[in-house]
Amino acid sequence: MRIVEAVLHDVELPLVHSFETSSHRKSSLRHLLVELIDDDGAVGWGEIASPAGPYYAPETTTTAWHVATEFLLPAVLGAQWEHPDEVSALFSKVRGHFFAKAGVDMAAWTLHSLKSGVPLGRALGGTRDSVVAGVSLGIEPSIDELLTQVQKHVDAGYPRVKLKIAPISGAGTPWDVEPVRAVRQAYPELDVHVDANGAYPGDVAAFDVFRTLDEYGLTMIEQPFAPRNLLDSARLQAQLQTPVCLDESVETLDDLRTAIALQAGGVLNIKVSRMGGLTAAREAHALAQEAGWPVWCGGMHEFGIGRLANVAISSLPGFTLPSDVSASAKYYAEDIVDPEVTAEAGVVQVPTAPGLGAQVRAELIAQHATRSQRISA
């Protein structure tokens, strides 16, 4: 296969419900869409789902645009490859910039799936026809509003709810033990987990919070400490019954090997975006399986393209926990794929059509794109 042309689109979509994490609140999202066009004119699509600001990871939409247009796409254009797992090697000299890399790698996989006629999930080694989805709920202005959100998603049939927690929310107060206690009281049997997005320092007060949360029968405590703070994560895991799940800490397979060796957790959130694409996600899945760590697929509020890639990777056998692959409608009134991703009682079907498994809506991209750039070999 040879890519002869690439197009990058900067697209902004409004969110149906604004979302607050430990770092900030947002009401619309800008993601970059990648088109890779081969010498037969076939098109593979990918999505760069970096947040606009450098709060989850160091990248921004602007750095992703810069790195993709100046370094990644030029490395891919004109190169000959047989299988998409060779594509990330074309730009392996570029350090970091995993979100930007993920969009390009994803486009190579969807192109490969399209041309080989093998559905994306199967091409990746997936074995399931459907995947179980959980929802991620942001910090709300009040506990009542959080309970309303939980009820809405329980009513929609989602079997797992993840709650964002923070030592200090946007409102200036802690958002951890109290919301968890309220949700646990209202839903004694629900699969609930929490995600701190690395917001806690590894101090005595934080350990006290997590020891208290350990009493609430949570499925996991995700990313309690800063990404590089694996030592406190290991120290915490040794004190808790609840598994610690790593998200931001694991960007590379080496990070994962270190985390496993240190027993810095027991569960891995595999995010296609954070790890630089489907090729790396698949390798992380294999490594985690070997180590006995269950995995699930995390999300970055992807538009339909990234969302379908997440659905495909979630069909691999080690993804035994619900993934953040909720329906497009949880986030967007209109998604850029047709059909959009839907969930029936919290279950999402893995597409069987080759390629992305849905049509990309060019008219919606044109309507919402703030800039597009075409690059040729």
47 binds, among Mg ion, ligand OSB, none (CB under 5 to 8 A by kind): none
H helix or E strand, kind and range, residue 172: none
130-132 and 135-137 strand pairing: unpaired
Residue whose C-beta lies closest to Mg ion: 247
Total residues contacting Mg ion by CB under 5 A comes to 3
Q: How far is the CB of 21 from ligand OSB (least distance, A)?
A: 6
Question: Which residues between 235 and 254 bind Mg ion (CB under 5 A)?
Answer: 247
255 binds Mg ion (CB under 5 A): no
Contacts of 308 (CB under 8 A, 6+ apart): 120, 337, 341, 351, 356, 357, 358
C-beta of 45 vs 303, nearer to ligand OSB: 303
302 binds Mg ion (CB under 5 A): no
Q: How far is the CB of 271 from ligand OSB (least distance, A)?
A: 7
CA dihedral 172, 173, 175, 176 (to 10 degrees): 140
Q: How far is the CB of 266 from ligand OSB (least distance, A)?
A: 17
- What the block records as the tokens of 197 is 């997005």
C-beta of 298 vs 354, nearer to ligand OSB: 298
CB atoms inside a 10 Å sphere around CB 115:
15
C-beta of 105 vs 324, nearer to ligand OSB: 324
Q: Could you tell me the sign of the dihedral formed by the alpha carbons of 138, 208, 143, 162, in that order? A: positive
Q: Could you tell me the sign of the dihedral formed by the alpha carbons of 210, 216, 220, 222, in that order? A: negative
- Whether 26 is catalytic is no
C-beta of 54 vs 78, nearer to ligand OSB: 54
Q: How far is the CB of 146 from ligand OSB (least distance, A)?
A: 15
- What the block records as the tokens of 93 is 């000299």
Contact 209, 176 (CB under 8 A): yes
Q: How far is the CB of 108 from ligand OSB (least distance, A)?
A: 22
195 binds Mg ion (CB under 5 A): yes
20 binds Mg ion (CB under 5 A): no
310 binds, among Mg ion, ligand OSB, none (CB under 5 to 8 A by kind): none
Distance of alpha carbon 89 from its chain centroid, rounded? 22
- Whether 164 is catalytic is yes
255 binds, among Mg ion, ligand OSB, none (CB under 5 to 8 A by kind): none
Annotated active-site residue in 26, 93, 101, 271: 271
56 binds, among ligand OSB, Mg ion, none (CB under 5 to 8 A by kind): ligand OSB
The footprint of ligand OSB (CB under 6 A) covers 21, 56, 136, 195, 197, 247, 298-301, 324, 326
- What the block records as the tokens of 347 is 């279950």
Long-range contacts formed by 51-54: CB under 8 A, 24+ apart? 51/26, 51/300, 52/26, 53/24
Q: How far is the CB of 133 from ligand OSB (least distance, A)?
A: 9
Calculate the alpha carbon distances from 8 to 35, 73, 204, 330 in Å.
Answer: 6, 9, 47, 26
What one-character DSSP code corresponds to residue 157?
T
C-beta of 20 vs 38, nearer to ligand OSB: 20
299 binds, among ligand OSB, Mg ion, none (CB under 5 to 8 A by kind): ligand OSB
| Phi, psi dihedrals of residue 304, rounded to the nearest 5° | -55, -30
Residues of this chain that bind Mg ion (CB under 5 A): 195, 222, 247
Catalytic machinery residues: 164, 271
